[in-house]
Each structure stands twice: as C-alpha cells, then as structure tokens.
Structure 1
Amino acid sequence: MLPNASAGTVTVVTSFPKELTQVYKQAFEKANPAIKLEILNKSTVQGLSYVRELPVGQRPDIFWASAPDAFEVLSGQQLLENVSGQANKAVPEKVGSYPINDPQGLYLGQALAGYGLMWNTRYMAANKLPAPAQWADLAKPVYFGHAAMSAPSRSGTTHLTVETMLQGEGWDKGWNQLLQISGNCAAITERSFGVPDGVNNGQFGIGLVIDFFGLAGKYSGFPVEFVYPDVTSVVPANIGLIKGSKNPEEARKFIAYSVSTEGQLLLLDPKISRLPVLPPSDLGGKVPAAYPNPFEIAKKAKVRFDSDLSEARYNLVSSLFDQTITFRHKELKEATQAIHLAAGALAKKPNTNGQALLKQARDLAFTPIAGSGLAGDKNFLALFTANKKDAAAGKQLTGLEDRWSSQARDNYARAKSFAEQALATAR
C-alpha cells in the first residue's frame, strides 16, 4: 500500500472566519498532499446541533471554536475522543489560572483569546468621541448610537464576552451594565462578524468583540485600535476530535499540526491575528512588536472564567438577552435616549421630583427581568436545557419568553414616560 493511500477528507466544523480557515487549509494540505480539509462554517450553537444530530460513522471529524463551554457540552455528551497524544509538550499547562488543554485530554487549546473593545480612530475623531477603556464607559451618554455588538444566541464569541462581564460584575450588576450598553448601541448584529466589519468600514464607532477581530483589523491596516478592559479573561479557543467521525486518524494529524510550532505561527498572519498557545519565546522572534502577550494579560485580568457556570446558564443568558435586548432593541434605545436627555437637563437644573422620576426610569429600563436568585436556581435552569421533544417543557419555556418580551416592552415604555416627565421638571 502506498503511504497515505487510506487518507481521505477531514471535515472540520468551525465558527471561525474564512480568513483563518483558508490559511490553515492551504498550509496543511501543502504539508499533507494526500489529505483534504473540508470546512463547514457554522455558528457554535448550529455546530453543536449538527454534530449531535448525526449518527456514528457519519459525523464530521473536528470541532474547532472559541467557546470553551461548547466543548464542555460535547464532552458531557460523550461526543469527543481523547487527543492528549496530539498535544504539543511545549504548551504551558495554564494561562493565568485556566488550563490550556482539557485535563481529561478531550480537547486542546489551539489559540488564546480575550475580550474587549475595538474602535475606528477616524470615526472617533470625526464625532469627537474619547477612546473607551472599560465596558462601563460604553454606558455613558456620549456614546449613544455609536457602538455595536452581536447577540450571544447568534455568536459563541459574543456569548463569552457577555458571560465574562456577568462573571466579572456579578449577575445583577452585569445585566444592568449590559442593558445600558445595549441601549446605547446603534445595532445588535445578526453575526459576530457584523461588528468588526462595521467598525473597520466606519459604519460603527466602537464594537464589543473577541480580541482577534480587533487585532486583525488593526494589523490588516484598518484605522482601528483595540483595548482589553480590566474586567476581561483569557481562555483557550479549542480543537477536538468528534467521536464516531469518518476519518479520525487523518483528523488527528490536523489537530497535531494546528498546535505545532508551524501551525501556531500561522496565527500571526495579519488577517488572523490570534494569540498562540505557545509562549512568545517559543516562536523564534516572529511575534510582531507590541503584539499582546496573553500570558501577561491573564495575570492582570480580573475575571477567573468559570466554564462550568457558563455552561449551566448558557441557554438562559441567550434567551434573556434576546427577549429583553435583541427583540426589544428599538424600545430599549428609545428609553435610554430619553434617560440621557433627562439626566443632562437635571444636571443643569436639579430638583428632587425630577431625580425621583429619573431613578424610576433607570430602574425600569436597566434592572434584569430575571435576577440572580432565578439564575442560581437549578430547577429554573433545567427549563432551558430540557429536551426539545418535550412538548410540555417547550410550551412552558415559550410562555416564559413571551412574558419576558412583553414585560421588557412595557418596562421600556414606562421608563421612557418617566424620563420624559423628569425632563419636563427641569424646563
């Protein structure tokens, strides 16, 4: 038999953009001429469903995505094979306090990622906006209509960003901040790519993004800057071998390649601009000057990301965001704008009645409909993870989401009314 005669096509399910996957596909196929990579681009949530629904022997080979909680879902459902034999021994055990490779060997860290803010320097100058440094900055009136983010239900990387904020600030304060920031946003985009694309081309001033979107824009020559807020975390983007796939042996070769020195250097391509799991000292002096060092960022990061907590409330976070922000964004924006106008007027002409009305408006608009008590209730969380074929559970969840949506609409309308009354007292 000829060498590699049994080699076939390795199917990769990934949420990563084609700018990244094409570079890896070309380099790997050049190094392994008998193996072809087939890339199936799906959002993390779509990818998980796709893998789960296929029978043994028909599944894709590799799952490659940024969300560590997605790999916890796959491992919990026994859908991953052990890949510890493909690990690169030079990769450190941890970044900060977070393991880079799964301690059970079911997936490997392939790149590192943090979360932050990117902005278009020309847009900011034209609109006389200061550069933001922290998440909380984006709640300020000056940024109204200038920012954008995507929905966590549509983007695994946005889910990680939102969960990082919730873990860093605590559930209630975190949602209060998220609602204020979302109220200031010009748009909640359909896919995570819509945010960096919009910032790169000047459609939006500021975007809440995973770091590689901001860094890729900057190092590809767009007028873009990026910053990590204090409330951030550094976690691995992972790669794993799906149990019951068609070509596991060839797939193992790609996994090993992706974490090899050669594979890690591809992350420094300006179009990709991701943070390698290998320390900069192991990359032969090829890391660009001023390129972020994830191991240093992790030391300063205030969040010790808990992927078990994130996994437990994954569907709750997505649902609550959609019902109170994504689907009610117009109403939330209107309430937020009214609150800003009232606050500005009352700062110049303060009065007790106006301040009381403004507080009522803020409480209605920016208090989460589901508080920390519910978020920590296992029975409540079980409603969001029930089998989709369970009609009774589905009906219960749909009813709850409908109530959240209606309550959010009513809260924002009342908040806007109170804010307008507060404004009237300052005239």
Structure 2
Amino acid sequence: MSGLKRGYFHSLLVVPVIALFCLGKVYSNELVIGTTFSPESLSYLITEWEKQPNAASIRMLNRTSSSLNKLFDDEKNDNIDLVLSSSPMLFYHLQEKQRLAAFPDKFSQGKKFVPEILQKTTVAFSLSGCGIFSNVALLENAEVDVPTDWSGLISPNLQGLVIMSSPSRSDTTHIMIEALLQKQGWQQGWALIHQVMANVGTISSRSFGVVDKVQAGLGAAGITIDNYANLLTHYNVDPHSVLIFKYFPNFPVSPTFIAITTNSTNSRQASAFIHFLLSNSGQSTLYHSKMGKYPIIPLAKSHPLYATQQFLFSQPTIDYQLMLKRQEVVKLMFEHQIIHRLAQIQENWKILYQKEQQAGHPLPELREILTAL
C-alpha cells in the first residue's frame, strides 16, 4: 500500500476514534438522575443547578418506585448517577442490593431527617407535609366544610368527590396510609380508610396527578403532599383562590432523599450536586413558588414560611422499621380488600347512608360490619 493510501486510511480510523472520545467526554459531564418526581416539579431546581460554574447538564429518568427498583436489577441501569425520591422503601431496597454508594461525614447535615437504617448511603435535603388539597367551590356545592383530616373526608355528601392514589402505584400514598395506620391503630385505621374510600371517585395513577384532577374539577378534595399543591396555590397566599391545601395535624412529614449510585460514572459531579442542594443557595431554591418544598435549614423568623417550616419540624416521626416490615402486607391489603372491592364497598356505604337518613340517626352496628377487615 502506498504512503498516500496508508495516510488516507489512517485518517479514516482516527476521526471516529476522536469522535468517540469526544462523545465520552460529553457523556461523562452529564448527570443522570432517576426520580419518582414529575419532571415539572424538578425543572426549576435543575435550571438553578445548571447556572452553577462547571455544572454538569442533567438528564432525568422519571419512573415509579417499583420501576426504578427493577431498573437497578440490570447492571447497566441506564447509567444512573443519582436517585432522588421521597420513598424510603426505594432507597432501602437499593441499599440492600448494594446499589448505593456510602456517603462521607461531610454530608452529615443532610442526615437529620433520614431513617437511621439509611444514613450511610442517603441524605435528605427538603421536607414536604401531608394533607388535603381542596376545591372550595365544589365543597361549597356539596355543603361540606374544607376538610383538615382524614375524618373530614367521610361525609356522605362527598360521595364520588374524593381523589387519591394507591400504595401500589405511589409510595407517597403508601407512606400516608402507613402513617394513618400507625396513628389510629391497625383496626381503626383500616376502618377509617374504608369510609374514605367509599367517597373516592378517582384513583390517580400517581400521587402528583391528584392535584391536577382537583384543579380540573374532577374532585373536591384530594390526599397529597404540599409541594404539588404549592405549585398551584403558591403556599396559599391568594385568599380568593378556590384551591387550598390543609395539613393533617400531628402527622409525619415526607423528606426528599437523594443518593449516589455505586455505578455512577460521574461521582464528582453527583457529589457537587448534593453540595448544591445542601448549600444556602440550593436550600433557598426549594421554597421558590416553582418548587413548593421546604428546606431542612431553618428559615429566619422574619421569613413568611418560617411558621409552616417550624410546624413541619414539630411533626411526629413515622416508625420506618415498622413500615418496611409490613410494606407488602399494607399494599396487598389495600389492593385486595379495597381496590378490588371498591364498587361493592361504595354501594354498601350508599345503602347505609340511605338507611341512616331514613332512621334519622347513625347505625353503628351496620357501620362496624362494613369496616370489619
């Protein structure tokens, strides 16, 4: 082969090699975040991060908790660098599979709201509270006061007007169901859930879909967390809005967790992203109206969100060990005892309400039968 031809073929080989190298450089400067949150709820945070000097661009993979967990059964797992979710169950399962990297002590600030069993691999950077998102106009039409607790959702006038997700579809809903069971006790908790479900008109596929449906007038009240509601109510600052969020009293908060994966190809940038989340600038990003969350760093007393943050700080802690121990039982109970029998449950309660109206007083014996497990 002549020197000219050798040079020509050499150049053909060099070009793709350089191209692959360049692609590798681009890829290594990309952070891939697997998350259970909707892309809209994180877009402002990502925008603020990408304004930081030398910040990697971010690609998000939005999945359910179970889908993300299964994704990590594959060694490649879409090259996920970070996992971001409010589901302690997800982080527990990934930690058990040794898919999460150990955190150094420099992130100790973010471990205050993390279950002890996860503190070696996981940090928390924000808080959300649980409660009820309501459409006041629809409640007024139904002649029902704005509900502030689970018991406020059992009025016969709310039949078909309550919206929620299920534990098998949403770990956020699972946490709220578990918190209610821990607060009320197993028997009384399930009895109350039965009564609430008698009024449910829509089972949302995801927890963040609840607020959209209430806003659209598909229901009068939905069980959800504050940050999804805050995106629409802007922290309830408009007294004339028909949309309002009320916190459950004496009810555990829902921290947002993040962890670096053991297979991360960009652990330096992943660590920098967590530093940003725990920094003053990152924490201030969280309570912007486009985020709707609360920081874990205490706000100044003069801050308009100070009182609500202190309220969230004062809420009881959920028993994570108990939740993890019986998570599958709670899911199965909800699916088989409620979801699969929902039409019959609602018909039974409709008949009961009619009989009570005819009698002019409650019928506790019949109620006990309907709420028995």
Q: Retained in 2: the 8 A contact 1:158–1:210?
A: no
Paired position in structure 1 for 2:90: 70
Distance in 1, matches of 2:307 and 2:357, equals: 38
Paired position in structure 2 for 1:186: 201
Q: Retained in 1: the 8 A contact 2:84–2:259?
A: yes
Distance 1:309 1:326, change over 3 A: same
Question: Are 1:325 and 2:317 matched, yes or no?
Answer: no
Equivalent pairs, count = 345
1:133-148 maps to which residues of 2 (within 5 A)? 133-148=148-163
Paired position in structure 1 for 2:189: 174
1:8-407 maps to which residues of 2 (within 5 A)? 8-33=29-54, 35-51=56-72, 53-55=73-75, 59-85=79-105, 87=107, 89=109, 94=112, 99=114, 104-219=119-234, 223-281=242-300, 287=303, 289=304, 293-299=308-314, 301=315, 303-347=316-360, 355=363, 359=365, 361-368=366-373
Distance in 2, matches of 1:240 and 1:294, equals: 24
Amino acid of the structure 2 residue aligned with 1:119: S
Q: Aligned to 1:238, what secondary structure does the other structure show?
A: strand
Q: Aligned to 1:295, what secondary structure does the other structure show?
A: helix
- Which 5+ residue runs of structure 2 have no aligned equivalent? 1-24
Distance 1:344 1:22, change over 3 A: same
Rg bigger for which structure?
Answer: 2
Distance in 2, matches of 1:165 and 1:223, equals: 27
CA deviation map 1:214-252 (0-9, x unaligned):
222211876311112224112421011111222222211
Aligned residues with identical type, % of pairs: 24
- 1:118 shift after superposition: 1.3
Q: Retained in 1: the 8 A contact 2:55–2:269?
A: no
Q: Aligned to 1:117, what secondary structure does the other structure show?
A: strand
Q: Aligned to 1:40, what secondary structure does the other structure show?
A: strand
Q: Retained in 1: the 8 A contact 2:299–2:305?
A: no
Distance 1:281 1:84, change over 3 A: farther
Q: Retained in 2: the 8 A contact 1:199–1:205?
A: yes
- 1:35 shift after superposition: 1.4
Q: Retained in 2: the 8 A contact 1:65–1:237?
A: yes
Distance 1:292 1:336, change over 3 A: farther
Q: Retained in 2: the 8 A contact 1:161–1:210?
A: no
CA deviation map 1:378-397 (0-9, x unaligned):
xxxxxxxxxxxxxxxxxxxx
Q: Retained in 2: the 8 A contact 1:100–1:108?
A: no
CA deviation map 1:44-65 (0-9, x unaligned):
22212212x1216864111100
Distance 1:101 1:21, change over 3 A: farther
Q: Aligned to 2:198, what secondary structure does the other structure show?
A: helix
Residues 263-272 or 157-166, more deviating: 263-272
Q: Retained in 2: the 8 A contact 1:73–1:311?
A: no
Paired position in structure 2 for 1:373: none
- 1:116 shift after superposition: 0.9
- TM-score, length-scaled by structure 2: 0.84
- Please give the root-mean-square deviation of Cα atoms over the aligned residues, in Å: 2.6
Amino acid of the structure 2 residue aligned with 1:215: N
Distance in 2, matches of 1:293 and 1:237, equals: 17
CA deviation map 1:104-155 (0-9, x unaligned):
4311111112211111122222332211122112122232222111111111
Distance in 2, matches of 1:291 and 1:138, equals: 29
- TM-score, length-scaled by structure 1: 0.74
Distance 1:275 1:346, change over 3 A: same
Distance in 2, matches of 1:199 and 1:50, equals: 32
CA deviation map 1:240-270 (0-9, x unaligned):
1111222222211112112221111121121
- 1:171 shift after superposition: 1.3
